[in-house]
Amino acid sequence: MTRLGETLRAYQARDPAARSRLEIFLLYPGVHATIYHRIAHFLYCRNLKFLARLVSQWSRCWTGIEIHPGAKIGRRLVIDHGMGIVIGETAEVGDDVLLYHGVTLGGTGKDQGKRHPTIGNNVMVSTGAKVLGPFTVGDNARIAANAVVLTEIPPDATAVGVPARVVRIAGEKVDYAAQVDQIHVTDPVQKELQALSARLKWLEKSTEDQTRSRDA
């Protein structure tokens, strides 16, 4: 009950649409998925793997969120909307993590043993992001919407793009997971394209000036 209470408080703190803990408990699929996962993980750890998968599959049908019974989930996980989230068998999710709908914590299909990512504490993974492989996303990191993360992300970093690149590392610890702004981040690919476009315009103008000079 202690864990449930702190999870409900975490939803209240991070979801401006949440009106009461009773509403969150009864109507939020992320809460239901977490409760079902606790049961499935309990069974999985006692080698009752068929029953564990049965519970997880029921949860998937009921909530739209697929968490493998073997995954390790920390405290106060907040799943916003949640539809389409997939968390793999060897994934580990730390405390105070915020996941948006469409997130995948998956593998690359070629790894053995530990195949899925480890998500640190206080991490935000935004809508549609894919984190694929047996590496660590450091504490307080932010993964931007639709990013595809294929390598380790250091603590306090912001990663964007396909494949994801780190575009910011804070000099001090910041509560990134409490910030739900998913769009105001710098895209390094966009910056490079803008620089190339500016260079092309400069070359075109230079060519035109040279042509006019010869004609004159």
Max mean pLDDT range (111-115, 156-160, 195-199) = 156-160
Q: Where are the chain's structural domains?
A: 2-185, 187-216
Whether the pLDDT of residue 206 is over 80: the answer is yes
Query: Which CATH number is correct for 2-185, 2.160.10.10, 2.40.50.140, 3.50.50.60, 3.30.70.20?
Result: 2.160.10.10
The kind and range of the H/E element at 207 are helix 188-215
**Distance between CA atoms of residues 67 and 90, nearest Å:** 10
CA dihedral 208, 191, 102, 40 (to 10 degrees): 150
CA dihedral 39, 43, 48, 51 (to 10 degrees): 0
- The CB density around residue 128, as the number of other CB atoms within 10 Å, is 17
CB contact burial 41-58 (16+ within 10 A = b; e otherwise)? bebbeeeeeebbbebbee
The closest alpha carbon to 179, from 105, 122, 119, belongs to 122
Q: Which amino acid is at 166?
A: V
Whether the pLDDT of residue 164 is over 90: the answer is no
Tens of pLDDT along 178-198?
455 555 555 666 777 888 888
Whether the pLDDT of residue 52 is over 50: the answer is yes
Tens of pLDDT along 117-138?
999 999 999 999 999 999 999 9
Question: Which region among 28-37, 67-76, 155-164 has the lowest average model confidence (pLDDT)?
Answer: 155-164
Q: Is the CB of residue 152 less than 8 Å from the CB of residue 168? A: no
Q: Greatest CA span in the chain, whole angstroms?
A: 88
Rg of the Cα atoms in the chain: 22
